[in-house]
Structures are given as structure tokens and as C-alpha cells.
Amino acid sequence: MWERKLGRPTAHRISMLKGLVSELILKEKITTTYEKAKEVQKLADKMVTFGKKGTLASRRQANRYITIEDALTKVFDTLAPRFAERPGGYTRVIKLGKRRGDAAEMAVIEFVE
């Protein structure tokens, strides 16, 4: 599941991605590096799919990845009904260009619609 290493130890990488997914759900749009955005996109789409199922088991599975309680309720109460008719592709990644300091490729990840 965690394909890209992103230059970090495993525990740090997993923690960082969980935080990014939670913030994306709360704010619905975040700016990060392109590689991180592609990894967050996979997790965010999976969280919305869990929200669409709406079962207790899917809520517990989503709780493994979402670190903020408000974000968990937002997935099941707001995002799941919004994407009820959509079969997939709940997020989009838009490249912004290179960051000035270290020339890292930057991108915006956001929910569609």
C-alpha cells in the first residue's frame, strides 16, 4: 500500500500521510509536493469509498487512517453523500510547478465538484 518511500523512515512516512489525509478531508484542498499528493490521493479515495459503504466495519477501517475525529465524521456525513452517484475518482491532483527553495514539484490536491 505504501509504495513511495518519500525519503522517510516507515513510521514517519505513515504518520505524515495519515495527517495529510486528515487535513485534506477537513480543508478539501491542500498544497504539497507532487509525490506526496499522489500517495494521499490513493488514501483519500479509499476513505470516501469507506464512507459510501457506511457500515460500522468501514468506519473502523477509516478510523485507522484518519487521525482527526471531525474528519472521520465529515467523511461519513458530508463527503459520502456528495459522491454517492460517482463510481470513483473523488480527488484530483494539479501540478503547480517547482518550489523555489529546493525545486521540488508542487501540486494541489482537492476533491472534485
102 lies in some domain: yes
What would the pLDDT profile of 3-32 be if each residue is shown by its tens digit?
Answer: 788 889 999 999 999 999 999 999 999 999
Phi, psi of 36 (to 5 degrees): -65, -40
Residue 54 has phi, psi (to 5 degrees) of 75, 10
- Domain membership of residue 2 (yes or no) is no
**Which of 112, 113, 99, 111 has the alpha carbon at shortest distance from 32?**
99
* Number of domains into which the chain is organized: 1
Between CA 84 and CA 92 the distance in angstroms is: 17
| CATH at 22 | 3.90.1030.10
β-strand 29-33 against 91-98: which pairing, if any?
unpaired
Instruction: Take residue 6 and report the three cell numbers written for it.
Output: 518519500
In terms of residue numbers, what domain contains 72?
A: 10-111
Is residue 16 a part of any domain in this protein?
Answer: yes
Residue 3 lies in a domain: no
Mean pLDDT of the chain: 94
5 found inside a domain: no
Q: Is the pTM of this model over 0.75?
A: yes
Mean pLDDT of successive 10-residue segments in the chain (113 residues)? 81 94 96 95 95 96 94 95 94 96 96 89
- 1 lies in a domain? no
